[in-house]
Each structure stands twice: as structure tokens, then as C-alpha cells.
Amino acid sequence: MKDPEDWVTGDEPMTGAQRSYLDTLAREAGEEISADLTKAEASEHIERLQAKTGRGQ
């Protein structure tokens, strides 16, 4: 899998699916996540929050 920073589209706004999943993960982790992340930033937060919440194992 490519590193998110290498994605050609990594600097585009995150997708609706990423936003929805991030909202779920952030709520479980007790965090607030910015609504205007890029795809690459969202991917990094998703990975971090999956580790924190034990999802995606």
C-alpha cells in the first residue's frame, strides 16, 4: 500500500466515506477532528484512531 503522502490525490479534500468513518472513530476515542482535512491527513488520523480504539484489527 502506498504511503498517503505519496498519493497524487492526497491533497484533495477527504471523501464522504472518510469523513463518516473518522466521525465514528473520533467519537469513540473522545476526540474532535477537523472537518477540512485532506485525503492524506484523514487517512493518517484514521490509522491512528483505529490503533487507539482497537478497530480495524
How do the domains of the chain map onto residue ranges? Answer: 4-53
| pLDDT per position as a tens digit, 18-42 | 999 999 999 999 999 999 999 999 9
In whole angstroms, what is the distance from residue 30 CA to residue 3 CA?
26
Enter the pTM of the model.
0.82
Q: Which three cell numbers stand for residue 28?
A: 469513540
Is 8 a residue whose pLDDT tops 90? Answer: no
| pLDDT per position as a tens digit, 36-57 | 999 999 999 999 999 999 987 7
CA 39 to chain centroid: 7
